[in-house]
Structure 1
């Protein structure tokens, strides 16, 4: 099942049509769909070699790669050859691979090769410079260990720096495209499931159950469930010593979102904890947030949140209850998780609401065009979604209510009262308002909104868009 990725596929096809050698790097967290993208791109390519690396020794990796090359070249002498290292292997490839054909050579999970042979990137650079760059090869390097990909493949210090012709940072699907995996569920359950899995393709494909409750029971809080140990596996692959990172993510998931709060929870000095947070931001696990009206470089009261929905869910509900899960004492735990899901999913509902409003803007359904999107808060107040256009001085304030009862006049009135607290071009701006409510609106709220030009949306509106 291959969904979307139209932009990335189009980019690869455009690169493929060029006459010179191409060197494309694809990276992104595990399970996000990098392999599927490469396979879809190579589906109709006549000259296509795909090698999936794994955690073997260098000798075994070369043997596996050699077999894939043989399947394409049918060079019997290649099978008889024994290569002591990658230098010898690439030296032989430079003699047998065609220089005048548009050959796609895809090396997936290259970080395993770098782990077993740190000099691999230097060797590849040597043969790119002396052979591959003068051919019509289309080289793809793909990797899931984002930190290693940034450091050893893309970074300025990497031997491969300056060789790539393009790169694709493959990210999780947004809610609109994730919904394509979840069409049998209604919009409310899709939001709940997205709050657990995020837009990670593999996770979405694993949703085989008929309800959110059964999915959590079978796949997450049973010892044998796919997701139970998933976070430990992910972080152990990314970091040699994941314990501090585990503690930081647990702190954030439990609501300790300010730098000082995280530092106190983990028990590490603020300056040192910042370095760990920088790494988590670099690999796309954690995001530093500031109010959308503020300058991120100057604002000092930022907060941190876990950008990956699955990791956020796991640290909120699985990690604190691992002893119970190990003892299979999960009936009460499942009830507890389901009771807390409405509160937990409210943050995801705000993200989905922002995506919905952005889509409405593209369709011309908003009173202005907005460029910058985010949240706003001060010490006592917050507004769920605020969007700005610094060219036209338009500003949109939106409140998101993830609750079953209908939103009343008070919700709209509170939003109108909070808007003047936002200090942003106060004398010049044009203000716009919206409220998105899961439970809909009372008749009085609808009348109140119409009188004041406040846009109202509910789950039915969202379901029609998504």
Structure 2
């Protein structure tokens, strides 16, 4: 079953059905659903689809395998071509529509030096006939982004570009639509938005059972996915202690440097930039401190990776000795609600992003966290969900509760906020997973049900 990605599907189908030249670039992290998306879009293509997966081999090896994919799709006898141009010259002799998908392009590219293969595809795309639609797809995000840089031969050659990212909370819940709102929030907070990961959440297993089954055994599917796929490239070049320290939190550069004992030689800065480029971590700053480098924070981008580095990494032996039940009870169960509550704040922001995409927040110019300095109490901190408007900031208190919030609780929160000096906010709203036990015209109240209903009205539910 294919879920979500409606906008991306429309984008690809438009390219495949076009009467003009079409050369599409699709890239994103591994197991994010790129190949599945392309295959789904190709189902409506009125012609022959040639799907080829590149491998780590020589250029000649990849060319021969690509040739085999072509002849098999066209039901032709075995053929050989000396150059990539010869292969495409042959394809140009075909009159019927062809869709050629070259997946894991980075392996093919790495078989030659520098930008040699990119230069070849520049010439190929420049002379591509209208009946041949070409898709280049890759999962090494850093390398694929190079194709879009101005000094790359392929710069400006693509007719459409799709940077596929994880599903947001609303698309992710399509994999578990019958679960309670509370469970939907917890499942997204723990397992994230990778379609491959979400496809493992079968049946109606509890959140606890899903963790024990999919993450705690050392040979479990998702443990293997994290350790052998997601972390394989990172372990080769980066200090994994960076991710261990970040866990489920946000850290400043100075805090990370102190934890790993980094020397002042620029290596940590280089590693952080590469991890950002790989979409493993992200760097952000409060919306009222965008230009302040001292208020920049690093965090792990992927929810599943957050969970792994919060609870499992460096505790693998303990999990084996104790067994899944005891390990969960001792190491995870006591703090899991806190873990989820911190991720719930990002879900609230995704909700507002969707409203903005719908055009329902026309006066909002930015959204994110809000930094405050309470000089009277000599304290500072952040509100993790805030909307910026021309007249100031509206902040939202986000609560992952089992029971509805009362009016007294809301008013107490507002009173605490108002006690902070020099706070430039125009209003305070509330997002509560369990909803509220009162109605109020004077307060903006957003329940968990609202999160999964109102935002879904957006045309095309995929990011």
Superposition TM-score tier, normalisation by shorter sequence:
0.7 to 0.9
SS at match of 1:304: strand
Please report how far the alpha carbon of residue 156 of structure 1 lies from its aligned counterpart in structure 2 after TM superposition: 3.3
- Flag the 1:359–1:142 CA change in 2: closer, same or farther, 3 A: closer
User: What is the CA-CA distance between 1:193 and the residue it aligns to?
Assistant: 0.8
TM-score computed with the length of structure 2 as normaliser:
0.86
Structure number with the higher helix fraction is 1
Instruction: Please list, as runs of the form range in 1=range in 2, the aligned pairs for 1:111-150 lying within 5 A after superposition.
Output: 111-115=106-110, 117-119=111-113, 121-123=115-117, 125-126=119-120, 128-129=122-123, 133-136=127-130, 137-150=132-145
Check the 8 A contact 2:182/2:434 in 1, yes or no: no
Contact 2:49 2:100 in 1 (8 A): yes
RMSD across aligned C-alpha pairs, in angstroms? 2.9
Q: Which runs of 5+ in 1 are unaligned?
A: none
Matching residue of 1:385: 385
Q: Which residue of 2 aligns with 1:180?
A: 174
Residue 209 of structure 2 is aligned to residue 214 of structure 1: yes
Q: What secondary structure sits across from 2:313 in the alignment? A: helix
Change (3 A) 1:406 1:5: closer
Deviation per CA, 1:86-142, whole angstroms, max 9, x where unpaired? x62442332344365542111111122223x03485245335416762422221111
Unpaired segments of 5 or more residues in structure 2? 373-378, 457-463
Deviation at 1:228, TM superposition (A): 1.3
Count of aligned pairs between the two proteins: 443
Per-residue deviation, 1:211: 1.1
**Alignment partners' CA distance in 2, 1:288 and 1:412:** 33
**Structure 1 residues 135 and 464: alpha-carbon distance in aligned structure 2, compared to 1, 3 A threshold:** closer
Residues 395 and 429 of structure 2 are in contact (CA less than 8 Å); yes or no, is this contact kept in structure 1?
yes
Separation of aligned partners in 1, 2:118 and 2:381 = 54
Q: What SS does structure 2 have at the residue aligned with 1:269?
A: coil
Deviation readout 1:255-310 (Å, 9 max, x if unpaired)? 46111111111221354312211112222221212111222x44422111111111
Q: C-alpha displacement at 1:36, in angstroms?
A: 1.0
Q: Aligned residue for 2:461?
A: none
Report if the CA contact (8 A) 1:369-1:389 is conserved. Answer: yes
Alpha-carbon distance in structure 1 between the residues aligned to 2:421 and 2:56: 53
Q: How does 1:7-156 map to 2 (within 5 A)?
A: 7-45=7-45, 46-76=47-77, 79-81=78-80, 88-98=83-93, 101-115=96-110, 117-119=111-113, 121-123=115-117, 125-126=119-120, 128-129=122-123, 133-136=127-130, 137-151=132-146, 153-156=147-150
Matched, 1:266 2:260: yes
Distance (whole Å) between structure 2 residues aligned to residue 105 and residue 262 of structure 1: 45
TM-score scaled to structure 1, two decimals? 0.85
- The CA distance in 2 between the partners of 1:60 and 1:328, in whole Å, is 48
**1:298-343 CA-partner distances (Å, limit 9, x unpaired):** 4422111111111111111110311123446332211131222100
Structure 1 232/154 Cα, relative in aligned 2: closer, same or farther at 3 Å?
farther
- CA offset digits 1:38-90 (Å, max 9, x no partner): 101111221321112233554543343222100233443xx153x5xxx6244
Map of 1:403 onto structure 2? 401
SS at match of 1:339: coil
- The aligned runs of 1:350-429 (5 Å cut-off) are 350-359=345-354, 369-378=363-372, 379-390=379-390, 393=391, 395-408=393-406, 409-418=408-417, 421=420
Q: 1:233 aligns with which of 225, 228, 234?
A: 228
Aligned to 1:331: 325
